[in-house]
């Protein structure tokens, strides 16, 4: 598979929290570095996600917002 997004980070599924409509997926992309994504429940099922499985966090955004306290 090839995609146009430049930011595709390979990781391991660390946690999955299934809700009524959406599913929260935590990917560990490096030691102590995690990315959390919320996807549809249907998409999570279609991908066959499970803890320990490898997956990609694909980030495609036109804006990145940085904030400080």
List the Cα angle 19/46/22 in 5-degree steps.
20
Statement: residue 4 has pLDDT above 80: yes
Residue 44: pLDDT band (50, 70, 90) is very high
Contacts by 56-63, CB closer than 8 A, 24 or more apart: 56/8, 56/9, 56/10, 56/11, 57/8, 57/9, 57/11, 57/27, 57/29, 58/3, 58/5, 58/7, 58/8, 58/9, 59/5, 59/7, 59/8, 59/9, 60/4, 60/5, 60/7
pLDDT tens digits for range 22-40: 999 999 999 999 999 999 9
């Amino acid at each position: 598979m090839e995609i146009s997004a430049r930011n595709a980070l390979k990781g391991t599924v660390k946690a999955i929290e299934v809700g009524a409509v959406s599913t929260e997926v935590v990917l560990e992309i490096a030691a102590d570095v995690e990315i959390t994504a919320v996807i549809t429940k249907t998409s999570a099922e279609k991908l066959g996600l499970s803890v320990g499985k490898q997956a990609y966090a694909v980030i495609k955004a036109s804006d990145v917002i940085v904030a400080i306290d």
